[in-house]
Amino acid sequence: MSDGETKTCIYPGCERPAVPPHSLGGPQPSFCDSEEHNALSAHLERQRLAREGSAGAPASERGPATINEEGIPAVANEAYRAVFLRSTRPARWC
Ligand SMILES: [Zn+2]
């Protein structure tokens, strides 16, 4: 491809062209003009596809840790919970 001006929407499965860069400059957006295609929705869609295709996908692509619904590794979640519980529990034993 010699045309470096045209980007394609990076939303999974979307092949529409990305919106053109702003006339005043700045980087070209990576998504088409669909309101549903943005960094967050693309991220969620990729996670959904990863879950659906997890049977065939190599584990290395998803990382060694198990990922829960929120996309937080279980290990991190437990560490978070430990810190959270400790910091919010009032010191009552005085
Ligand atoms: Zn799109």
User: Is residue 25 situated within a structural domain?
Assistant: no
Q: What distance separates the 2 farthest-apart alpha carbons in the chain?
A: 73
User: Is residue 18 situated within a structural domain?
Assistant: no
Name the residue among 38, 9, 41 with its Cα closest to residue 19: 9
70 Cα: distance to centroid of ligand 1 (angstroms): 23
The predicted-structure confidence for 35-55, as pLDDT tens digits, reads as follows: 999 999 999 999 999 999 876
Q: Identify the domain containing residue 45 by its residue range.
A: 39-58+65-88
44 Cα: distance to centroid of ligand 1 (angstroms): 14
73 Cα: distance to centroid of ligand 1 (angstroms): 28
User: Is residue 31 situated within a structural domain?
Assistant: no
Contact 6, 28 (CB under 8 A): no
- Share the mean pLDDT of the chain: 78
pLDDT of 62 higher than 80: no
User: Is residue 46 situated within a structural domain?
Assistant: yes
Provide the b/e sequence for 13-44 (b: ≥16 CB within 10 Å).
ebeeebbeeeeeeeeebbbbeeeebeeeebee
The predicted-structure confidence for 2-26, as pLDDT tens digits, reads as follows: 555 678 999 999 999 999 888 898 8
Number of domains within the chain: 1
71 Cα: distance to centroid of ligand 1 (angstroms): 23
19 Cα: distance to centroid of ligand 1 (angstroms): 9
- Exposed, middle or buried, 55 (CB in 10 Å: 0-12/13-18/19+)? exposed
20 Cα: distance to centroid of ligand 1 (angstroms): 13
